[in-house]
Structure 1
Amino acid sequence: MSLPATPTRIQWMLESVWIASIAGALILWVSFGVRQSIGLFLLPVTTETGWDRTTFSIAAALMQLFWGCGQPFVVYLGERKFGFGKVIFASSLLYATSSWIMYGSPASSPGVFIFASALQGLAAGGNSFPIVLASVGRRIPAGSKYKSIVFGLVSSFGSFGQCCFLPMGRAMIGSLGWRWTFMTFGLMMAVMSPLSMFIQSVPPQKQDQDQATAPVDEEKRAAAKLEQEVAEFEKPKVVVNHEDMTLTQTLKFAFSSPTFILITLGFSVCGFHVAFLSTHLPAYLVDHDISSSLAAWVISVIGLGSVFGTISVGYICTRFRPKFVLTAIYLGRVFMLCIFYWVPTSLATVFSFSVIFGFLWLSTVPATTKFVGDMYGQKYLGTLTSITFVGHQIGAFCGAFVGGLVYDSMHNYSHMFYASIALACFASAANLLAPDEHPPQKPSK
């Protein structure tokens, strides 16, 4: 017979990085899986209601926009007011409620559907990468080499959700219809919401004691002190302790840094690609004589490739600087988009693209999170990554909305692929040029 739970045991469960990682991974698995399935609903919804693709794209784009713009406020509530666990729990229930509204949206009133999509986006901010990774990251000591690996593992379950929910959603739409599928997805979000208790807010862990108290003999200590004095004499430099800074100081410091701006701009390109492809790629493939069931599997395979991509990039970031990793990811997207668009469409080319592009799909998340954490500390990592996520979702809004607008006006997606390739080049250059060392100045108070 198991012993009753004691306060010490309960406290250990709440502070355990492993339990928090498992809970966060499961929440991302469901939340990201149901959100990435939005493209499956484009043809069924427009066919039943008679709407054009622009109307559906507005709903999908507003979901992305509200998701991004609401993210900093949601993370602020988690970091400063109510704690991560309560915010995630409430957001999951709000998502379920919005799914019920979508279920009852009348065909004659697209406004109800669009309103429910915006509500879904607002709820999505409460169980997305910034808030989950910030909560998990607080349980890992500062400076630990395992932090980026954990970020990659937890983030990979968002991609795994995409892999699982796309074929599941396609089968459910075929058997239950798109309305009941929306409602079932919302119910799944509500069922997973109690896991939020395991990712409640905890104080950030300090640096590993082994690293902080490593024995150093007197000769090495004296040499290090002399080297530091010489460096300070040659180039006076104020060392910024991010963990002692207030939220206002941190935000001023980040927004005055070109690195933060370039990271955000590059991440917005990632959002453009993800939203455009997840919303319009199934319809694009159907337009090129690929069956709708196979089109769903294409997005699923992208998600499966992304599982390995996010895990691998989490490890790679322990070996290479995040700016170079992100540069390589966006360059890889340039080549894959060029090949996919200009090579004749077939099952072989489509699934080859899915596997390779999937590796680059969400692998930007652990690299971007690591980049921001290295530059601006862990104390307000959730707030800072949520701000970069605003840029991501503004790009996602453009990818989802402009994709439908371009198709309805030109009846093809050619210009969207041209834009995707050009933006990938821009994102690669932005991350390559982003300085990853602070300038010798003290942040304003």
Structure 2
Amino acid sequence: MSTANSRHVVSLKNQAAWVVVSGTLILSAAMGIRQTFGLFIGPFSFDRGMPVTQVAFAIALHNLVWGFAQPFAGAAADRHGSAPVVAFGGTTFAAGLALAALAPSGAMLVVGMGLLVGIGVSCTTFGVVLPAVGRLASPEKRSMAMGLASAGGSLGQVLVVPLTQTIRETSGVSTSLLVLAFLMLAAAPLGIVLDRRNPGGAPSREPPAPSLRAVLSQACRHPGYRLLTVAFFVCGFQLAFIATYLPGYLFLCHMPAGLGATALALIGLFNMAGSWACGWLGGRFRQQTVLGWLYLIRGIAIGVFFLLPKTVGSVVVFAAVMGLTWLGTVPLTSGLVAKVFGTRHLGTLFGVCFLSHQVGSFLGAWLGGFVFDATGSYTLLWGATAVAGLLAAMLHFPINDTVAENPARQRGPART
């Protein structure tokens, strides 16, 4: 019996490892590609004569479409599995990149990089991948597993951003976008591995799952879920603004050419350690407390970087600090949702929460271009981004992480 149990444990660990690795590769492709979009603002504007505002709107729109599509993508993965959702998303993502590569006008760019890419990203990133990882992991290991997958997702940013910069400089915008489309298609079949099921894992130890309608109603009335959702808006705003406009901002500051791409790659590199560390901390401390400190550190770092003179050293330090706090919010946020509401409808619940994140991303990406066209400067947005981080920190500390009662077992109205 002990030998059989040992083999079962080894089998479960192998399944979890394959799911984490596959999730990492899917996230690496999808997140790495979308982090390159800031590199195309200048070429689209100067080479194709498109206004910066219009290019910024296309990039911002994909964030907004991503947000609105994420609850539906998560619900589809909850019900039908990850494989068809990832396959559809990877194909749509690639089609959007190809359309952007060949776009003769701003309208086609908006459809490709805005609408199609947004739908594709919703099916190939956190709202579909992390719930699959979370379901297979045990509750005590869930935060760490999600952190590992999120950390691995930054590998794409480390590798894809410099690669895209090189291809764009040597072969042009269209070729670089078509290469990215091919990369996304190659990652799409990996969704099959995410559908592995753990017969002895976390879901079997959870009570019978309530209906989706019941758990959504309960979550919307839960004060902690509302605070988490509102604060996640700030994360999206900060990340989209920095990822989209940091290269252009450094150019305006007369920094060396290519430093913007290097800074984005460094953010991705340090995010690998940061996401893992946040997952580790989330398994040992209250996740909302870790989130509060993360937003506080991020807000202070943004304010200090903006106020200090710009040097190569200050850019490197800023990129390192931002990387350590970059996507660590995702395993912590999804882990907190799973802790309170369980994993059965995690894709949907995290998707609803993530919608707030993406509304923030839309505003961060779009307002940067709008404010720059209006004022010729990013000063207003840098200040707003720093202050928003401090406000988000204050929203997280009072969150109550007590496990919500299963609505299916309640006789009266759901308790919060």
What residue is the counterpart of 1:134 in the other structure? Answer: 131
Which runs of 5 or more structure 1 residues have no equivalent in the other structure? 1-8, 213-240
C-alpha distance in 2, partners of 1:172/1:361? Answer: 26
Q: 1:308 to 1:64 in 2, by over 3 A?
A: same
1:394 partner amino acid: V
Q: Which amino acid in structure 2 is aligned with residue 154 of structure 1?
A: A
Alpha-carbon RMSD across the aligned residues, in angstroms, is: 2.1
Instruction: Return the alpha-carbon distance in structure 2 between the equivalents of residues 274 and 404 of structure 1.
Output: 15
* Conserved 8 A contact 1:85-1:201: no
Asked if residue 306 in structure 1 is aligned to residue 271 in structure 2, the reply is yes
| Match in the other structure for 1:41 | 40
Shift of 1:244: 2.9
Of 431-440 and 95-104, deviating more is 431-440
Quote the residue 2:109 is aligned against: 113
Counterpart-to-counterpart distance in 1, 2:211 and 2:99: 40
Pair 192,320 (structure 1): closer, same or farther in 2 beyond 3 Å: same
TM-score for both structures, normalised by structure 2: 0.92
Match of 1:195 in 2: 190
The normalised TM-score by structure 1 is 0.86
Counterparts of 2:50 and 2:188, CA distance in 1: 33
User: Helix, strand or coil for the counterpart of 1:292?
Assistant: coil
Maintained 8 Å contact 1:243/1:379: no
Identity across matched positions, percent: 29
Q: How does 1:46-125 map to 2 (within 5 A)?
A: 46-80=45-79, 82-106=80-104, 109-117=105-113, 118-125=115-122
Does structure 2 retain, via aligned residues, the 8 Å contact 1:21–1:136? yes
Identify if the C-alpha distance between structure 1 residues 85 and 298 changes in structure 2 by more than 3 Å, giving closer, same or farther.
same
Distance in 2 between residues matched to 1:342 and 1:204, nearest whole Å = 54
Residues 2-47 of structure 1 deviation map (CA, whole Å, 9 limit, x = unaligned)? xxxxxxx9xx799911111111111111110001111011111111
Structure 2 CA distance, aligned partners of 1:387 and 1:344?
40
Q: Per the alignment, in what secondary structure is the counterpart of residue 245 of structure 1?
A: coil
- Length, aligned pairs only: 400
In structure 1, what is the equivalent of residue 3 of structure 2?
none
Residue 172 of structure 2 is aligned with which of 159, 172, 177? Answer: 177
Could you say which residue in structure 1 is the equivalent of 2:143? 148
Match of 2:341 in 1: 376
Distance 1:137 1:205, change over 3 A: farther
Please list, as runs of the form range in 1=range in 2, the aligned pairs for 1:303-342 lying within 5 A after superposition.
303-342=268-307
Q: Tell me the amino acid that sits aligned with residue 85 of structure 1.
A: A
Distance 1:341 1:15, change over 3 A: same
Runs (4+) of structure 1 moved beyond 6 Å? 12-15
One-letter amino acid of the counterpart of residue 346, structure 1: T
1:52 Cα deviation after fit:
2.1
1:101 maps to amino acid: L
Matched AA of 2:82? F
Deviation larger for 414-423 or 193-202:
193-202
387-396 vs 433-442, which moves further:
433-442
* AA aligned opposite 1:182: L
Quick one: distance in 2 between partners of 1:280 and 1:119?
Answer: 22
- Aligned residue in 1 for 2:4: none
**Matched ranges for 1:424-443 at <5 A:** 424-437=389-402, 442=410
* Residues 98-119 of structure 1, C-alpha deviations (whole Å, 9 max, x = no match): 111112110xx21000011221
The one-letter amino acid paired with 1:372 is V
Residue by residue over 1:26-81, the C-alpha shift from the partner in whole angstroms, topping out at 9 and shown as x without a partner, is 1111110001111011111111122221111100000111111101111111212x
Within the candidate set 151, 161, 170, 1:166 is matched to 161
C-alpha distance after superposition, 1:231-289 (max 9, x if no partner): xxxxxxxxxx7643111111011001111111011111110011001111100001111
Rg larger for: 1
Q: Give how far 1:83 is off.
A: 1.7
Query: How many angstroms apart in 2 are the aligned matches of 1:296 and 1:75?
Result: 32
Q: Any unmatched runs of 5+ in structure 2?
A: 1-7
Distance across 2 between alignment mates of 1:243 and 1:147: 19
Closer/same/farther in 2, CA of residues 367 and 331 from structure 1, 3 Å limit: same
CA distance 1:155–1:420, shift in 2 (3 Å): same
Q: Distance in 2 between matches of 1:438 and 1:76?
A: 22
Task: State the alpha-carbon separation in 2 of the partners of residues 20 and 64 from structure 1.
Answer: 26
Alignment partner of 1:387 is 2:383: no
Cα distance in structure 1, aligned partners of 2:207 and 2:374: 50
Tell me the SS of whatever aligns to 2:258.
Answer: helix
Per the TM alignment, residue 369 of structure 1 is displaced from its structure 2 partner at its CA by 1.2
Change (3 A) 1:397 1:370: same
Q: Say if 1:34 and 1:208 are closer, same or farther in 2 by CA, change over 3 A.
A: closer
Inter-CA distance 170–438: structure 2 relative to 1 (3 Å threshold)? same
